[in-house]
Structure 1
Amino acid sequence: MRIAVITPVAGRHSHLLLQQDGLAAGTRVPDHYVLVTMDDPRAAPLVASRTPAAETVPVPVQDGCLPLAAARNAGARHALEAGADLLVFLDVDCVPGKNTIARYAGNAVDGTLLCGTVAYLPPPPPEGYRLAALPRLAKPHEGRPDPAEGQILRGGDHRLFWSLSFALTAVTWHRIGGFCEEYRGYGGEDTDFARQAADLGVELRWLGGAPVHHQYHHVSRPPVEHLDDILRNGAVFKRRWSKWPMEGWLRDFAEMGLVQYDSRTDMWHKGPPIDS
């Protein structure tokens, strides 16, 4: 089985280098390490002389919105054209565990999405993270299943899918059809991908022994800097699936007076409440 790891990149270069170190230290090193650089020409030279060797696919940014769906699709196309049988998607912040890639490869079957656990790391010490210390620094995210080493939880809830770390065979990728590229910027594209997979009968499985460690970076709760993206992408999802995603964030924004819900049209809009 030829394995490709696909990582979209737009900055966070120290995170990228530690991810590459994690891949190099694994019991199964990928055959292809595909970096999809989103207006980030500095990324490729940083990793060029390191292991595993990186293959760079540039994707332009339009209107200031990171094209995450298009980037993942471009990375998958490159990997498949190079002969990959298994696609492993990792966000740039995610450092795989020693056996993560091997576990994905050993349990990949057509018709399934595999998701490993994700542990969110605390801020790094002044000298930075040490690869060997990562498993001791954080537990898997409590909002997702946490199967034991060697365990597989079948029949997972597709609403809990996230694109930080997942794997699927080339056959399954073609069956789902990739990510919808109408989504630009933050949010919605992974929820859409999982919904498409569920409608096509692709099973979600949670895989024990396949952790990634998510390196710390500042986030806002709620993510007010992504308000416009969430409204735009949420409307795309609503049109495609007749339901709003990210409703928790939308309710938080409403409490802050940043958005309002129009029950007459079942639409969220920017601005103060509409007079009834």
Structure 2
Amino acid sequence: MTVAVITIVKGRRSHLRAHLSSLTRSDLRSVDHIVVAMGDPSVKTTVEQVNSPAHVVDIEHSAAEPLPLAHARNIGAAHALHRGADILVFLDVDCIASPQLVQRYRTAAKRNDCASALLCGPVTYLPAPVDGPSAINILSSFRNPHRARPTPADNRITKSENYDLFWSLSFAVTASTWRSLPGFCEDYAGYGGEDTDFAWTARAQGVGLRWIGGADAYHQFHPVSDPPLEHLDDILVNAHIFYRRWRRWPMEGWLRAFEEMKLIEYLAHEQRWAIRKRI
């Protein structure tokens, strides 16, 4: 079964280099790599500099607009299918792939109980930047998967009913299952909500959710705020889109945190969140 790894990116040059390098350590037989550059011509240069066989797809994006994450993933999937992929692996540019990530997803996708499911692997968030290509070889010693999500042992698979735990930074799906879904909803733009929406859409259509032991990825360090203040506007817009589609608020932890910081307020009579104070 042919696997295509799909990565979307803008900027993140050092992260992209480590990401590309990690995939060269994987079993690359029958593996294609689609890198979707969102308005960033330097991506193709970076791919060439590390001698990666990745196929770069350029889409337009204005710096003044939120990143078209949902659209970029859909474009990447379309190119992967056109190039003959049987399995789609979506891997965030911030993620370094473990040597066995591709093979664990491929093996799982062949199982009858996983062929029509979303397949998610464990992700370890690294506490510091990766220092050079040689550091990639010792990442397993830092393995500490996110505690809020299932972490099956290597070569084990765990079934889950909690679709809120789905994340788009590392997951796989068979081509037939992807075609049965409408893809990521492109009403969303910028940060937050589109991956949970994708998971809820899958659940509504009877697509399962499985956690794949051994399909480990390592999320590279970069400064973040908690809650993510720099994404406040995107999160608020996307939260309202999600509410209109599902009659439930997503990202409630962040919304409540913004509320406690007196940045937003909930207008109950209008059933919406509103900006109270600009940062």
Q: Same fold (TM over 0.5)?
A: yes
Aligned to 2:92: 91
Give deviations 1:161-209, integer Å, cap 9, x for gaps. 0001000011111112110001000000001000000000100000001
Give deviations 1:110-147, integer Å, cap 9, x for gaps. 31110000000111266577111111124001111111
Of 187, 195, 200, which residue of structure 1 is paired with 2:200?
195
Of 145, 148, 170, which residue of structure 2 is paired with 1:140?
145
Aligned to 2:3: 3
Give the Cα–Cα distance (whole angstroms) in 2 for the partners of residues 101 and 235 of structure 1. 35
Aligned to 1:258: 263
2:130–2:220 CA contact under 8 A, matched in 1: no
2:265–2:275 CA contact under 8 A, matched in 1: yes
2:102–2:215 CA contact under 8 A, matched in 1: yes
SS of equivalent to 1:198: helix
Aligned to 2:274: 269
Aligned to 2:36: 36
Greater shift, 22-31 or 187-196, is seen at 22-31
Greater shift, 73-82 or 19-28, is seen at 19-28
Give the Cα–Cα distance (whole angstroms) in 1 for the partners of residues 130 and 241 of structure 2. 41
For residue 106 of structure 1, what is the amino acid of its counterpart? T
Q: CA RMSD in A?
A: 1.5
User: 5+ residue gaps in structure 1?
Assistant: none
Flag the 1:161–1:126 CA change in 2: closer, same or farther, 3 A: closer
When the two structures are superposed, what TM-score results if normalisation uses the length of structure 2? 0.93
SS of equivalent to 2:19: helix
Give deviations 1:81-134, integer Å, cap 9, x for gaps. 111111000000101111110010011143111000000011126657711111
2:130–2:136 CA contact under 8 A, matched in 1: no
Find out whether 1:102 has 2:103 as its counterpart: yes
Of 239, 242, 247, which residue of structure 1 is paired with 2:244?
239
Greater shift, 167-176 or 51-60, is seen at 51-60
When the two structures are superposed, what TM-score results if normalisation uses the length of structure 1? 0.94
Aligned to 2:79: 78
Give deviations 1:249-268, integer Å, cap 9, x for gaps. 01000111100001122211
User: 5+ residue gaps in structure 2?
Assistant: none
* 1:29, distance to aligned residue in structure 2 (A): 4.9
1:122–1:137 CA contact under 8 A, matched in 2: no
2:21–2:133 CA contact under 8 A, matched in 1: no
For residue 13 of structure 1, what is the amino acid of its counterpart? R
* 1:155, distance to aligned residue in structure 2 (A): 3.2
2:159–2:210 CA contact under 8 A, matched in 1: yes
1:38–1:59 CA contact under 8 A, matched in 2: yes
1:21–1:51 CA contact under 8 A, matched in 2: no
Task: Report how many aligned residue pairs link the two structures.
Answer: 272
Aligned pairs for 1:213-228 within 5 A: 213-228=218-233
For residue 77 of structure 1, what is the amino acid of its counterpart? A
* 1:221, distance to aligned residue in structure 2 (A): 0.6
For residue 236 of structure 2, what is the amino acid of its counterpart? L
Greater shift, 109-118 or 60-69, is seen at 60-69
